[in-house]
Amino acid sequence: MTIQPRPTRTIPKLAIYDRMESQVRSYARSMPRQFTRAEGVWMYDENDGRYLDFLAGCSTLNYGHNHPILKQALLDYISADGITHSLDLHTEAKADFLHTFETLILKPRNLDYRAMFTGPTGTNAVEAALKLARKITGRQHVVAFTNGFHGMTLGALACTGNAGKRGGAGIPLNHVSHEPYDGYYGPDVDTAQMLDQRLSDPSSGLDAPAAILVETVQGEGGLNTASPEWLRSIADIAKRHGALLIVDDIQAGCGRTGSFFSFEDVGIVPDIVTLAKSLSGMGLPFALTLFHPELDQWSPGEHNGTFRGNNHAFVTATATLRHFWSSDAFMEDVKRRGNYLGKRLEKMAEAHDLSTRGRGMMRGLDVKSGKIAQRITSVAFERGLIIETSGAHDEVVKVLAPLVIDDDLLVQGLDILEDCVRRAYEPAFVVAAD
Ligand SMILES: *Cc1c(COP(=O)(O)O)cnc(C)c1O
C-alpha cells in the first residue's frame, strides 16, 4: 500500500474557520485541511488526500477510527432506541459497562476500585480526584510534578506545569507545588528522595499534601518516563506522609504503554486513578475516576455533571473491553509493536545524535529544538503522515499510532518519519526553512 501525495494548495473552504472559529484552535493550524471521514489508521480530506494517523486524537483513538465492531455495537444500540442521555440514572448500558470493567479489568488485576462517572472530559476526572483527596485529608496542598499535564480547568490547570497553559487562567493558580519529576536533574539525582526530605522537614516550607498527582509517562510534557523504583518511592512517600496517590492515566492508560493501566507492571496500587481519552474506545467523550471503596466519602451530588451518563460511550467502551481485553493477545501485539517502535526511534536517534523518550507505544524522538521538531512534523504532514510534538519546547516528535495498526503500516509510517528526520538535518533544508 502506498501513501498518496497530498495536494498542497490552500482550500477556499477553510475561510469559514478564519471567519467564524476562535483563534484558540491549535492542531488545525498545522494541518490546514478539511477532513471528511476516517477509518482505522487513516483520515481522509475532501480532496481524497489520505493521511496515516500517528496522532490518534492524542491517544484517544487507540483502536483506530470507527473500528467496525465498536461502530456496529453503537449502531445496534441507537437502532434499538437505546437511551442516549440519562444524567446518572441506572441504565442497562451503564450496568453492562460496570460488569465488564469489573470482570475484565479490575478482578484479573486484583484491583478494588469504585467507579465515579464525572463529566466526560479528562480534566473533569482530575478535578474530581483532587476534590476527593482534599475532602478526605482536610489538606489543601497538592504535590504535582515538573512537566506534568492534567487538564485545563482551574484545579487541574494548577497541577499543570506548562506556563503558556497556566497563563490562560487569569487568576493565581495555587495550593499546588511542582516538584522535580524523575530525571529532572539528570540520572544521578533521586528526586523522590528530595521530596521525601522536604516533606519530612518541618521547616522546608512545603505544606503536607492532600495528594501526590503523577503521570507514569508524561504525555504532553515530553514523554518523560518515571522508573518503577521512583514510582514505588513516590507511592511509599505518599503513604508515609498521609497523602493520597493519584495516578493520572488519562493518556498513558487504556493499553498505550503495553498494559491496561500504565502502573500495573510497576508494583504500585494508586489510591485514585483517572481515565478518559481511549476509555470509550471510539473517541466518544467518557471519563472515569477510580478510588478505593473506603475513599468513597462523597455526599450524593457533591460533584455533579449533566453528561455523566454518556450511554453511547458506555456501549462502545463495553464492546472495546470485550473485543480487545478478554485475553492477553492484544497486549502481546502492543508490546511487540512498542519494542519495534523503540528500535526504529533508537536508530533515528543514533543517526543524528539525539535521544528517545517514552515506553510501549508511547514514544518519541527528542530533537532538542521545537523548530526542528516542527520541520519534521510539517514535512511529514505534506507526505501524508499526521504526527505531533510534545514537551516544554515542543521538542519531542511524538508517535501515538493507533495500537491496532498493522505491522506493515507501522513500518511504512516510521519509514516516512525517518526520512523526514533525515531531511530536517540536511543543510539545504535547514537553510531553506530558515
Ligand atoms: C488529555 C489529558 C488530560 C485532560 O483531558 P481532557 O479530556 O483534555 O480534559 C489530563 N491528563 C492527561 C495526562 C492528559 O493527557
Identify the bridge partners of residue 131 per DSSP, sorted by sequence position.
Answer: none
Count of domains for the chain? 2
What are the distances in angstroms from CA 113 to CA 26, 234, 242, 272, 304? Answer: 36, 20, 19, 8, 19
Please state the rounded mean pLDDT for residues 287-310: 96
The label of the residue with cell 464525572 reads 118
What pLDDT does residue 430 have?
Answer: 60
d(CA 51, CA 188): 42
151 in a structural domain: yes
Range of the domain at 152: 69-324
Domain-embedded: residue 6: no
**Same structural domain, 23 and 168:** no
> What's the pLDDT tens digit per position in 299-336?
999 999 999 989 999 999 999 999 999 999 999 999 99
Does one domain contain both 119 and 262? yes
Whole-structure pTM value: 0.96
Instruction: Note the pLDDT tens digit of each residue in 52-73.
Output: 999 999 999 999 999 999 999 9
Residues in contact with ligand 1 by the CB-under-6-Å rule are 121-123, 126, 149-151, 215, 219-220, 248, 250-251, 276-277
Residues 174 and 83 in one domain: yes
* Residue at grid coordinates 482505522: 40
Bridge partner residues of 225 (DSSP): 217
d(CA 316, CA 284): 8
> 381 and 294 share a domain?
no
Q: What is the pLDDT of residues 389-407, one digit of tens each?
A: 999 999 999 999 999 999 9
Residue 127 lies in a domain: yes
- Pairwise CA distance, residues 245 & 84, whole Å: 34
Same domain, 319 and 352: no
Domain final residue pick, 309, 324, 339:
324
* Percentage, residues of the chain above pLDDT 90: 95
Question: What is the atom index within ligand 1 of the atom nearest the CA of 277?
Answer: 7
Average pLDDT, the chain: 96
Whether residue 183 is found in the same domain as residue 289: yes
Nearest-CA residue for atom 5 of ligand 1: 122
Label the pairing between strands 211-214 and 244-248.
Answer: parallel
**CA of 124, closest atom in ligand 1:** 9
Given a cut of 80, is residue 1 above it in pLDDT? no
Both 310 and 347 in one domain: the answer is no
Cα–Cα distance between 21 and 39 in angstroms, integer? 26
- Centroid of ligand 1 to alpha carbon of 58 (angstroms): 9
Query: What mean pLDDT do residues 186-204 have?
Result: 98
The predicted pLDDT at position 176 comes to 98
Q: Which of 173, 351, 333 is nearest to 161 (CA)?
A: 173
Residue 213 falls in which region: left (phi positive, over 0), alpha (psi -120 to 50) or beta: beta
Q: Does residue 425 carry a pLDDT above 70?
A: yes
- Same domain, yes or no: 155 and 212: yes
Sign of the Cα torsion 27, 29, 34, 39 reads negative
365 lies in the same domain as 286: no
Same domain for 32 and 100, yes or no, is no
Q: Evaluate whether residue 299 is within a structural domain.
A: yes
Q: Are residues 183 and 92 in the same domain?
A: yes
CATH of the domain at 420: 3.90.1150.10
Pair 377, 236 in one domain: no
369 in a structural domain: yes
For a pocket test of ligand 1, which of 251, 254, 286 has the largest count of ligand atoms closer than 8 A to its C-beta? 251
